[in-house]
């Protein structure tokens, strides 16, 4: 009996979302609902200049003309979102200016600890600078000085609006215009904070830049806005990782990420997304509607997206590359895991405009439980993209007979010298492989984790080391309870 009890307890522990806790910090909230007043409130809170407010209002007025017309083409089902029932701004209360980490609310620091981001230690560790976003406002930025000395700007975007208005004005909305899509427009109107990165000419950023987003206040939609500019000949690797506390109500998340790579520049953007996926019946969980797009503006530039998507109840996300510069390269590596009642509709767009542009898409979708997992991608070769090259591989793995895996690629070619290739397969874990592992004394779950990790290897390998370790564990955790 003792053994049974122990097993039951273990199962309970596993089933509970590891990062599901709520920190009790007083919030400075905007009035509920969305109106011009809300936007003025957000803008005033941040002491933004007039042009920024005007930009937000322009987006908001455009959003009104969309009259709640959310995109419906994705293979996703979710209840209608009441945009007037959310709070659009919540900032942790804090002392006016922080001199050092000691001044940060100890409760906040406690939260980070639970999340496994000991800021104090991390300063010393591995050369990772962490810009932690806690409910929309960056509270602590580390390693800033060191980066500043090299000319790297790594700051909250709200700060960049004040300190580097010329850069923000020039690039904000230049890849994802405010009129791009429903969620991007909403984000443009109400975005609260996010990261801003500028890498000066010829500099290879010596450390991985990293941000943790965290959704905390109840009913708070999160609207991050990230802008990364890699000037000529520079290189930067940016990490984004996410965990969120457990909630019963659906939380809306509509972020926008814009990347700009000039001549010979390279940006590597990696994401591990592990937001609350809802419980086994699909209750709760995050709605994740993200617009991520990079522009390879300069010749020989390169943008590489890597994503490991294991969380959220709804994922709507298509990190894309616009390959404008000649010889530019776009790459997309993705692992999307859906379990229970999660739904993911994710993929990429590769728009080839310049000559000899190359793109590579590797997508691995794993679907278990009653989940639906869709790859949706576009490869477009413009008439002037001589010698363009695309290779796409989409593999889906089904675990269990109640889930779905779908592949919807669009391939549009207007240039004869371009070569495009697309391959997609769908299969399940083979009984032979499972048998082999079980026979060698592994448990069913260990075996599945191992096999799935092998299936995803091509993608996980492209992650920076810090993330790769975490991601491998995540793959296993996400699929717990899906077999047997």
- Cβ atoms within 10 Å, residue 69: 8
* Contact footprint for another protein (CB under 8 A): 73, 383, 396, 398-428
Minimum distance, C-beta of residue 364 to another protein, in the bound complex (Å): 14
CB 397 within 8 A of CB 366: yes
Nearest to 117 by CA among 472, 470, 480: 470
Residue among 219 and 393 whose Cβ is closer to another protein:
393
What's the distance, Cα to Cα, between the start and end of the chain in Å? 21
**How far, in Å, CA of 105 to CA of 436, rounded?**
52
Phi, psi of 57 (to 5 degrees): -65, -35
Nearer to another protein, 74 or 262 (CB): 74
Which residues on adjacent β-strands are paired with residue 419? 389
For the CB of residue 306, give the shortest distance to another protein in the complex, in Å.
24
CB of residue 69 to another protein, shortest distance in Å:
12
Coil vs helix vs strand at 143: coil
Q: Which is nearer to another protein, 237 or 315 (CB)?
A: 315
**By C-beta, is 404 or 476 nearer to another protein?**
404
How far apart are CB 334 and another protein at their closest, in Å? 16
CA distance 253 to 256: 10
DSSP state of 386: T
Instruction: Give whichever of 122 and 449 is closer to another protein, judged by the CB atom.
Output: 449
Helix (H) or strand (E) holding 11: helix 2-15
Beta carbon of residue 429, minimum distance to another protein (angstroms, whole number): 9
Residues in the chain: 484
Beta-strand relationship, 90-92 and 27-29:
antiparallel
User: Whose Cβ is closer to another protein: residue 205's or residue 336's?
Assistant: 336
SS3 102: helix
Phi, psi of 396, rounded to the nearest 5 degrees: -120, 145
- The minimum distance between CB 248 and another protein, in angstroms, equals 29
By beta-carbon proximity to another protein, the closer residue of 410 and 435 is 410
Cα–Cα distance, 85 to 443 (Å, whole number) = 46
226 vs 338 by CB, closer to another protein = 338
Nearer to another protein, 94 or 393 (CB): 393
Nearest-approach distance from CB 105 to another protein, in angstroms:
48
Residues 332 and 321: beta-carbon distance below 8 Å: yes
CB of 332 to another protein, least distance (A): 17
CB of 340: closest distance to another protein in angstroms? 16
**Separation of alpha carbons 113 and 134, rounded Å:** 13
Q: What are phi and psi of 137, to 5 degrees?
A: -115, 130
């Amino acid at each position: 009996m003792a053994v049974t009890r122990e097993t039951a307890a273990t199962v309970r522990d596993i089933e509970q979302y590891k990062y599901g806790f709520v920190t009790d910090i007083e919030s400075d909230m905007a009035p509920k609902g969305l109106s011009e007043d809300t936007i003025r409130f957000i803008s005033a809170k941040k002491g933004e200049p007039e042009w920024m407010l005007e930009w937000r209002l322009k987006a908001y007025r455009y959003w009104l003309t969309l009259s709640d017309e959310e995109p419906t083409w994705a293979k996703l089902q979710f209840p209608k979102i009441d945009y007037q029932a959310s709070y659009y701004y919540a900032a942790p209360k804090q002392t006016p200016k922080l001199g050092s980490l000691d001044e940060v609310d100890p409760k906040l620091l406690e939260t980070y600890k639970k999340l496994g981001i000991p800021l104090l230690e991390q300063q010393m560790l591995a050369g990772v600078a962490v810009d932690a976003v806690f409910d929309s406002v960056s509270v602590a930025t580390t390693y800033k000085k060191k980066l500043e000395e090299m000319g790297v700007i790594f700051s909250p975007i709200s700060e960049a609006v004040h300190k580097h208005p010329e850069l923000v004005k020039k690039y904000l909305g230049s890849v994802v215009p405010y009129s791009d899509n429903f969620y991007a427009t909403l984000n443009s109107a109400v975005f609260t904070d996010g990261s801003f990165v500028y890498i000066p000419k010829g500099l290879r950023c010596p450390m991985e830049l990293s941000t943790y987003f965290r959704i905390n206040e109840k009913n708070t939609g999160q609207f991050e806005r990230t802008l990364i500019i890699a000037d000529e000949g520079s290189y930067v690797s940016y990490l984004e990782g996410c965990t969120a506390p457990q909630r019963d109500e659906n939380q809306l998340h509509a972020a926008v990420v814009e990347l700009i790579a000039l001549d010979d520049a390279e940006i590597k953007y990696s994401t591990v997304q592990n937001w609350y996926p809802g419980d086994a019946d699909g209750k709760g969980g995050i709605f994740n509607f993200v617009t991520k797009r990079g522009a390879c503006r300069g010749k020989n530039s390169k943008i590489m997206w890597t994503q490991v998507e294991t969380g959220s109840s709804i994922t709507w996300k298509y990190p894309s590359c616009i390959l404008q510069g000649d010889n530019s390269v776009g790459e997309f590596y993705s692992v999307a895991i859906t379990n229970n009642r999660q739904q993911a509709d994710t993929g990429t767009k590769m728009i080839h405009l310049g000559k000899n542009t190359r793109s590579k898409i590797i997508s691995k979708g794993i679907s278990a439980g009653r989940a639906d997992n869709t790859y949706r991608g576009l490869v477009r070769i413009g008439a002037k993209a001589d010698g363009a090259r695309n290779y796409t591989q989409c593999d889906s793995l089904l675990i269990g007979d109640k889930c779905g895996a779908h592949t919807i690629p669009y391939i549009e070619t207007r240039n004869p010298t371009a070569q495009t290739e697309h391959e997609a397969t769908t299969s399940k874990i083979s009984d032979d492989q499972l048998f082999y592992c079980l026979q060698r004394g592994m448990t069913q779950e260990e075996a599945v984790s191992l096999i799935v990790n092998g299936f995803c290897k091509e993608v996980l390998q492209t992650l920076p080391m810090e993330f790769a370790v975490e991601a491998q564990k995540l793959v296993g955790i996400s699929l717990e309870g899906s077999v047997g």
